[in-house]
């Protein structure tokens, strides 16, 4: 899996987008377990949930866990380049203790998916899974959960029933209004608390507002380097046309 749009690689525009999402999500202190999903594949949900968890983990005194519940893709372990021998599936089925499955990447704790269950619906609907997530909620300030796309599998619709909030990732121009409405209807039917939508793969170059606004990025560099910073910024901005932008409430 390609490392796309990493939060801490120095792209000012992208980093500010993640911080903006962090600000919105941290307003309600009762929302601690957050499911990140999408309507379809390749909308960038795994990239965003990994980097969003990293963004939260940099806050002082905040304990963050990233949980991979996309048992088929298992993208979290590939994104961070960590082993996926044991994970949440092994904890739920009682094969491993929670402490044996937690991996650390900097200040971030990660529990990968682990073994692939023959029936993910049984695992996700089990009381053991619900109890495990409730325990993690008490131990962490934030628990971010990656799940399969809603239009592909029912897994996200199961998880969303016992988490505090759900965030949808929509890739710009990737899905039409009909698919978006179907996705929202599915979530509403199971009583999901949809707290926002992240617009991903948004080209900021097309909009003069974002270009002029992010001109402030230069002020974060030392003045003698501002000329060099601007040249590098234009080059990187061209390379990273697709940026995650904006979280909006329904």
Residues 2-22 have a mean pLDDT of 72
Write the pLDDT tens digit of every residue in 169-220: 887 776 777 888 888 899 999 999 999 888 876 665 554 444 444 444 444 4
pLDDT of residue 9: 65
Percent of the chain with pLDDT over 90: 56
pLDDT at 229 (0 to 100): 36
Tokens of 205: 């170059």
* pLDDT given at position 152: 82
Q: Who has greater pLDDT, 220 or 83?
A: 83
Residue 174 is predicted with a pLDDT of 67
The answer to whether 184 and 158 are in contact (CB under 8 A) is no
SS (H, E, C) the chain: CCCCCCCCCCCHHHHHHHHHHHHHHCCCCCCCEEEEEECCCCCCHHHHHHHHHHHHHCCCCCCEEEEECCCCCCHHHHHHCCCCCCCHHHHHCCCCCHHHHEEEECCEEEECCCCCCCCHHHHHHCHHHHHHHHHHHHHCCEEEEECCCCCCCCHHHHHHHHCCEEEEEEECCCCCHHHHHHHHHHHHHCCCCEEEEEEEEEEHHHCHHHHHHHHHHHHHCCHHHHHHHHHHHHHHHHHCCEEEEEEECC
Task: Specify whether the backbone of 170 is left (phi greater than 0), alpha (psi in -120 to 50) or beta.
Answer: beta
CATH architecture group of domain 31-202: 3-Layer(aba) Sandwich (3.40)
Question: Per-residue pLDDT for 21 more than 70?
Answer: yes
**Res 188: pLDDT:** 92
């Amino acid at each position: 899996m390609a490392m796309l749009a990493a939060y801490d690689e120095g792209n000012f525009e992208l980093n500010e987008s993640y911080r903006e999402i962090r600000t919105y999500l941290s307003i309600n202190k009762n929302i601690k377990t957050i499911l990140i999903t999408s309507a379809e594949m390749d909308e960038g949900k795994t990239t965003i949930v990994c980097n969003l968890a990293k963004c939260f983990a940099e806050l002082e005194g905040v304990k963050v866990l990233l949980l991979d519940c996309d048992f088929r893709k298992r993208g979290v372990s590939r994104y961070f380049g960590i082993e996926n021998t044991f994970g949440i599936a092994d904890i739920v089925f009682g094969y491993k203790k929670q402490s044996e499955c937690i991996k650390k990447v900097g200040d971030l704790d990660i529990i990968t998916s682990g073994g692939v269950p023959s029936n993910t619906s049984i695992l996700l609907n089990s009381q053991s899974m619900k109890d495990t997530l409730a325990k993690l909620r008490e131990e962490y300030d934030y628990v971010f959960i990656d799940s399969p796309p809603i239009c592909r599998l029912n897994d996200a619709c199961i998880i969303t029933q016992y988490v505090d909030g759900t965030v949808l990732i929509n890739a710009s121009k990737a899905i039409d209004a009909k698919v978006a409405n179907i996705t929202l209807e599915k979530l509403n039917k199971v009583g999901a608390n949809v707290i926002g939508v992240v617009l991903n793969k948004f080209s900021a170059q097309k909009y003069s507002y974002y270009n002029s606004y992010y001109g402030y990025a230069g002020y974060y560099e030392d003045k003698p380097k501002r000329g060099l910073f601007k040249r590098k910024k234009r080059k990187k901005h061209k390379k990273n046309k697709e940026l995650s932008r904006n979280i909006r409430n329904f």
